[in-house]
Copies of this chain bind each other. A is one copy, B any other.
Amino acid sequence: MIKLVAFDLDDCLFDSTGLSKMARIKGIDVMIDLGLNIERKKAITILMEIVDEYGSNFSKHYNYFIRRLNQIDNEFNISFNMKYKFISAAVMAYHKEKIDSIRLYDDVKPTLMKLKKNKIKTSIITDGIPIKQWEKILRLNIDSLIELVVISDQIGVRKPNPWLFEFCLKKFAVKGEETLYIGDRIDKDIIPAKKNNIISVYIHRGGKYDSYKNESESSEYKIPDYEINNLDEIFTIIENLK
Contact = CB atoms under 8 A, between A and B. Distances in A.
B81 A131 contact: no
Nearest to A81: B148
B80 A135 contact: no
Interface in A125-163: 130-135, 137-139, 143, 147-149, 151, 154
Interface string A86-124: 011101100000000000000000000000000000000
Interface residues of A, number: 26
B80 A134 contact: no
Choose among A84, A135, A139 the residue with the greatest number of B CB atoms under 10 Å from its CB: A84
A40 interface: no
A87 B154 contact: no
Contacts of A81: 147-149
B130 A92 contact: no
A67 interface: no
Contacts of A89: 134, 138
A131 B91 contact: yes
**Copies, count:** 2
Contacts of A149: 81, 84-85
A66 B140 CA distance: 24
Choose among A131, A133, A135, A151 the residue with the greatest number of B CB atoms under 10 Å from its CB: A131
Interface in A72-89: 80-81, 83-85, 87-89
Nearest to A147: B81
Interface in A56-77: none
Contacts of A135: 88, 91-92
A149 B80 CA distance: 9
B143 A84 contact: no
Choose among A83, A134, A143 the residue with the greatest number of B CB atoms under 10 Å from its CB: A134
Choose among A135, A147, A149 the residue with the greatest number of B CB atoms under 10 Å from its CB: A135
A88 B154 contact: no
Given A85-B143, A88-B131, A91-B135, 11 more contacts: A80-B148, A81-B148, A84-B134, A84-B149, A84-B151, A84-B154, A85-B138, A87-B130, A87-B134, A88-B138, A92-B139
